Amino acid sequence: MAVADPGVEVVDSSDPEEDGSTDVARVGTSSHSISKNGSPTKHQNGSVMMVADRYGFIGGSQYTKPEEEYRIPIEKLRKRELKWLEMFENWEKWMSKRFRKVKDRCRKGIPPSLRSRAWQFLCGSKFLMEHNKGRYEEYLRRPSDPKCEEDIKKDLHRQFPQHEMFTSKGGYGQEDLYCILKAYTVHNPHDGYCQAQAPIAAVLLMHMPAEQAFWCLVSICEKYLPGYYSPGLEAVQVDGDVLFGLLKKTQPTVHKHLKKQQIAPILYMTEWFMCLFTRTLPWACVLRVWDMFFCEGVKVMFRVGLVLFRLVFGDGGKLAQCPTLYETLEKIRKLPLHQLDEENIVQETLRLNINERDMEKEHQKQIQRRKPKEKKKSTKHKS
C-alpha cells in the first residue's frame, strides 16, 4: 500500500466489477468528508484515509470525481471485453486483415481490464520482451551514466505525487520508475535520459509490471516518437512546425495570432507531444488518447492538438482575451478542463478536416524548409 504520510492511508474506491481491477484496501468507515482538493476522505479511529479514484489518484488535477465520471454500462463493457479477447487469440490476422475494426475498437476505448494487454499487443512490446528475455535484468545490473542516474533521481518525486503508486518517497512505485528509466539509458546511451520520458514511464507502470512497462517505453521512444528524446529535440521541433502548419490550414485566425505574438511551438510541444498529454488532459481523456495513439501513431497527437486549440480559442472569437504572449500562453497551458469530456475529444478529432496525406505533405514541407537552415549551420560550423 502506498502511503502519503504516517497519518494518511490510501484506499481504492474503484469498482472491480466494472474495470477488473483489485482494491488496494477495504476498510470500514465511521464518517465521510471532502478534502480541500475535492477528493473524498474517510475517518476511522482518529486517522484520515484518502479515497483513491478508480485510476488510483487521491487528489490533484488528475483526480476524477465519481459523480462526474462517465461509466459504460456493464453489459456493453463485458461484450467489448469478449471482442478484445477474441482479437488477442488471432492478433496477427486481425492486424493484417481487419485493422480498420481494430482501429474502431480502439477509438471506442479499450476496456480497462484489458488495456495493459492491448497496449502491449498494439505497440509490439510483447514481441520485444519475448525476444529479449533477461535483457531488462541485464540492463539493471550494468552501470549507467552517473549524470543520467542523478537526473532521474531528482525527477522521481515529481511524477504524479497524488497517485497511490508514487506518494511514498522510495516506495515501490518510485523504485520501479527509477529502474525503468535507468534501464533505458543503458539500452540507448546515445539519447540517455529525457525528463519527458518520466511521466510516460509512470503511466505505463500504473497499468503493468516494470519489465513490461520498460519494453512499452522502448517501443514509444523508438517506434512511435523516434528522435523526440534525443539531444537537441530536433524531431519535436519539426513536428511542432508541422502542427503549426496544420493549424494554419484548419484555424487560420488562431495561427495568425500565435505567429504575430511569436509563440514558438516548442513552448507547448514539450507538455503536449513529448509527455503524450499526460500533464494536460483529464485522466479519462489521457487513456482514450493513448488507446488511439498505440493503434494509429503520432497522427493522433496532431489531431488532439488541433482540437485543443479550437477548444481554447474557438474560431478566433476568444483571441481578444489574449492581447499579449502571456495571456495566450496561459490559455494554452491552463485548458478548460470542464470542456474536456473524453468522448467529445475523440469525436472532435475524427471530425477534423485533416487526413494523413495532409500531415505527410506538411511534414515534407517543413523538412524542406529546414534544409537551407541546416546547410547554413553546417557551413558556419566548418568555417
Residue 315 reports pLDDT greater than 80? no
What is the model's pLDDT at position 2?
37
- Give the per-residue pLDDT at 51: 87
pLDDT in tens, 22-41: 333 333 344 445 555 555 55
Q: Is 248:257 a contact under the CB 8 Å cutoff?
A: no
Residue with the bigger pLDDT between 221 and 26: it is 221
User: What does the pLDDT read at residue 337?
Assistant: 80
Distance CA 359, CA 250 (A): 12
Cell of 372: 537551407
Q: Which residues pair with 31 in a beta bridge?
A: 43
Q: For residues 85 and 133, state if they share a domain.
A: no
Instruction: Note the residue count of the chain.
Output: 383
Q: Over the stretch 145-203, which tens digit does the pLDDT of each residue have? A: 999 999 999 999 999 999 999 999 989 999 999 999 999 999 999 999 999 999 999 99
Flag whether pLDDT at 254 surpasses 60. yes
316 pLDDT higher than 90? no
**pLDDT in the model for residue 35:** 55
Same domain for 374 and 262? yes
Residue 131 sits in a domain whose CATH number is 1.10.8.270
Q: Examine residue 220 and state whether it is found in any structural domain, yes or no.
A: yes
- Domain boundary (195, 224, 253) is at 224
Return phi, psi of residue 40, to 5°: -70, 150
93 shares its domain with 22: no
Residue 1 lies in a domain: no
The answer on pLDDT for 380 being more than 70 is no
Same domain, 195 and 173: yes
Please check whether residues 252 and 343 belong to one and the same domain.
yes
Position 1 pLDDT exceeds 50: no
Q: Which three cell numbers stand for residue 361?
A: 505533405
Residue 250 and residue 327 in one domain: yes
Band the pLDDT of 68: cuts 50, 70, 90: confident
For residues 103-129, give the mean pLDDT.
Answer: 97
* 63 and 203 assigned to the same domain: no
Residue 322's pLDDT is 93
| Confidence at residue 86, expressed as pLDDT on a 0 to 100 scale | 97
d(CA 233, CA 195): 12
**pLDDT tens string 282-310:** 999 999 999 999 999 999 999 999 999 99
What's the domain count of the chain? 4
Residue 163 lies in a domain: yes
Distances (CA, A) of 209 to 31, 91, 187, 291: 35, 22, 18, 18
Q: In which band, very low, low, confident or very high, does the pLDDT at 65 lie, cut at 50, 70 and 90? A: confident
Q: Cell digits for 371? A: 534544409
Q: What is the CATH number of the domain that holds 348?
A: 1.10.472.80
Last residue of a domain, one of 224, 258, 277: 224
Mean pLDDT for 366-373 is 83
3 belongs to a structural domain: no
Mapping DSSP onto H, E and C, the string for the chain reads CCCCECCEEEEECCCHHHHCCCCCCCCCCCEEEECCCCCEEEEECCEEEEEECCCCECCCCCCCCHHHCCCCCHHHHHHHHHHHHHHHHCHHHHHHHCHHHHHHHHHHCCCHHHHHHHHHHHHCHHHHHHCCCCHHHHHHHCCCCHHHHHHHHHHHHHCCCCECCCCCCCCHHHHHHHHHHHHHHHHCCCCCCCCCHHHHHHHHHCCCCHHHHHHHHHHHHHHHCCCCCCCCCHHHHHHHHHHHHHHHHHCHHHHHHHHHCCCCCHHHHHHHHHCCCCCCCCHHHHHHHHHHHHHHCCHHHHHHHHHHHHHHHCCCCCHHHCCCHHHHHHHHHCCCHHHCCHHHHHHHHHHCCCCHHHHHHHHHHHHHHHHHHHHHHHHHHHC
Tell me if 151 is assigned to some domain: yes
pLDDT at 40: 58
Which pLDDT score, from 0 to 100, does residue 13 have? 37
Answer whether residue 378 is part of any domain. Answer: yes
372 shares a domain with 265 = yes
The answer on 58 and 125 residing in a single domain is: no
Mean pLDDT, the chain, whole residue set = 87
81 and 177 co-located in one domain:
no
Do both 96 and 12 map to the same domain?
A: no
Same domain, 82 and 100: yes
- Which residues constitute the domain of residue 40? 8-68
Counting Cα atoms < 13 Å in the Cβ hemisphere of 353 gives 6
Whether 241 shows a pLDDT value over 50: the answer reads yes
Give tens-digit pLDDT for 343-367: 999 999 999 989 999 999 999 999 9
In the prediction, which pLDDT does 376 show? 58
Q: Is the pLDDT of residue 10 over 80?
A: no
Query: Does residue 2 lie in a domain region?
Result: no
Domain end point (choices 49, 82, 108):
108
Does residue 42 fall inside a structural domain?
A: yes
What average pLDDT does this structure show over 245-258? 95
pLDDT score at 371: 77
